[in-house]
Amino acid sequence: MEDYFRELAEQAPRWNFIWMYDERQQGKILSGIWMTINLSIACVIFSVIIGVVGAWMQGAKSAIVRGIVQAYIQFFRNTPPFVQLLFFYFALGQFTPAVVGEDGWTVTPIISNVGWAIIALSFFAGAFNVEIFRAGIEAVPDSTREAAESLGFSRLQTYTEVVLPLAFRVSLPALNNNLVNLVKTTTQALAIAVPELLYQARTIWSDFPSAQYPTMILVWVVYILLVGVLVFGMHRWERAMRIPGYGQ
């Protein structure tokens, strides 16, 4: 197998599948994939939490709280995630404390570039999730809420037992789309040198131009698989959450 790709690289100089036989390059690819997966999972989780909390805050009595959520959504939805990443890392990163290493001269910021990527991308996708969940919450009829109220449910019980479970089901298809976008947007973290898949791929093909085509193809394939797994999982989940006789 390795010999096959080595020979292929010699015969066809544009088709150097270097990571099939060079262990160092292979390690880069694998760690890139691993970083992309971790980045995606962390951002998916945090953005969903931001979405639920934000949608709940949008129903707050205080106009100030609602205003803050609205400003947040407008800011993150209407600016490019690429710019957000740069801003978070280079502007806000200045103000977070750094830890001086034991040797006395290495300075490590407490939030790494990976940390900032997770923060920026979670807030970016979270802004859309707030809107998605809010639409779901609005789809729950007032009369259903009133029925809970007249049975003595508290506001919180009504929210957690009735409104959220119903709103969540309504929101799932839109959430699905947004999370797919989020996974794809993690590639932009290369702007702040997060060693995810695309970043690693680029270092490979700048070192070995002959490996450019194969590496690009690999990046395509990995994303198709990653997003495929996500979509498959979300569809399974949608199906598991389906209520017999409801909403079809």
Partner 1 sequence: MTATAGWTPDQPIVSLKDVHKSFGELEVLKGVSFDVMKGEVICIIGPSGSGKSTLIRCINALNNIQKGSIKVEGQEVHDPKLDKLELRKKVGMVFQQYNLFPHKTALENVMMAPVLVLKQDKADVEERARKLMAKVRLQGKEDNYPGELSGGQQQRVAIARSLAMNPDVMLFDEVTAALDPETVKEVLVTIKELAQEGMTCILVTHEMGFAREIADHIYFTDRGVIVEHGPPATFFTEAKDPRTKKFLEQIL
How long, in residues, is the chain? 248
What tokens were used for 218? 């690999």
Smallest distance from partner 1 to CB 50, Å:
24
Instruction: Give residues with Cβ within 8 angstroms of 127, minimum separation 6.
Output: 50, 54, 72, 73, 75, 76, 77
Q: Contact between 61 and partner 1 (CB under 8 A)?
A: no
Q: Contact between 79 and partner 1 (CB under 8 A)?
A: no
Q: Contact between 165 and partner 1 (CB under 8 A)?
A: yes
Of 105 and 246, nearer to partner 1 (C-beta) is: 246
Interatomic CA distance for residues 114 and 105, integer angstroms: 22
Of 117 and 175, nearer to partner 1 (C-beta) is: 175
Of 55 and 226, nearer to partner 1 (C-beta) is: 55
| CA 54 to chain CA mean position, Å | 17
- Phi/psi at 22 (5° precision): -95, 115
Q: Contact between 166 and partner 1 (CB under 8 A)?
A: yes
What tokens were used for 143? 């009369």
Whether the CB-CB separation of 51 and 136 falls below 8 Å is answered with no
Whether the CB-CB separation of 196 and 32 falls below 8 Å is answered with yes
User: Of residues 78, 107, 143, 239, which one binds partner 1 by CB under 8 A?
Assistant: 143
| CA 89 to chain CA mean position, Å | 17
Smallest distance from partner 1 to CB 139, Å:
12
Q: Contact between 150 and partner 1 (CB under 8 A)?
A: yes
Of 43 and 172, nearer to partner 1 (C-beta) is: 172
Q: Contact between 245 and partner 1 (CB under 8 A)?
A: yes
Q: Contact between 172 and partner 1 (CB under 8 A)?
A: no
Helices (H), the chain: 2-11, 23-58, 63-77, 81-86, 113-138, 142-150, 155-157, 164-185, 197-207, 212-241
Q: Contact between 173 and partner 1 (CB under 8 A)?
A: no
Smallest distance from partner 1 to CB 173, Å:
17
Whether the CB-CB separation of 199 and 5 falls below 8 Å is answered with no
Of 168 and 208, nearer to partner 1 (C-beta) is: 168
What tokens were used for 60? 């707050």
Q: Contact between 94 and partner 1 (CB under 8 A)?
A: no
Q: Contact between 147 and partner 1 (CB under 8 A)?
A: yes
User: Of residues 42, 162, 190, 230, which one binds partner 1 by CB under 8 A?
Assistant: 162
For binding to partner 1 (CB under 8 A), which residues are involved? 141, 143-144, 146-154, 157, 161-162, 165-166, 169, 243-247
